[in-house]
Amino acid sequence: MIAILERSKEVWCTKMNKLLFYVDFLSFRERGMAMTGLTYRAIDYGPVPEKWNKVYSQFDDIQQVLQQIGNYEGTILQTKSHIDNEVLTEEEIKIIDIVCNKFGNYSSQAISTISHEESAWKNHYQQAERIPFCEAYNLVSL
């Protein structure tokens, strides 16, 4: 997550949920395994890590800052830490870079809208089902 925060502009929880989805599903498609160990569920707002509201609080290096813009109130994720690139493989760094180069400047709303075009969301949101990683082979945005 810190690697994503370093590469993206202001990251609201909603946006991070989608960035993680794309990182994990692209990683699964390209390498046969996800990177984070998270599972994802299709909800009304798009694909999100299960228990996403607890995921970010598990990291001491990530601060959750409540912010209000107009009538919208949400949480921005911030860090002052830097990723130790020796922790990630070259393949993992490439996948994070692909996702962040594509979506890093997108707003939370824009990336959510794009995620609604994915079969991973379309095929599972009506029942708020867990998204199987085989949906990675159907990604249309990457």
Q: Can you say whether the dihedral through the CA atoms of 58, 120, 16, 97 is positive or negative?
A: positive
pLDDT (tens digit, 9 = 90+) per residue, 124-135? 999 999 999 999
User: Confidence class of residue 8 from pLDDT cuts 50, 70 and 90?
Assistant: confident
Q: What pLDDT shows up at residue 9? A: 64
- Mean pLDDT over each residue of the chain, to the nearest integer: 91
Q: Is the pTM of this model over 0.85?
A: yes
* Angle, in degrees to the nearest 10, between helices 90-103 and 13-31: 130
**Three-class secondary structure of residue 26 per DSSP:** helix
Lowest mean pLDDT among 53-67, 94-108, 118-132: 53-67
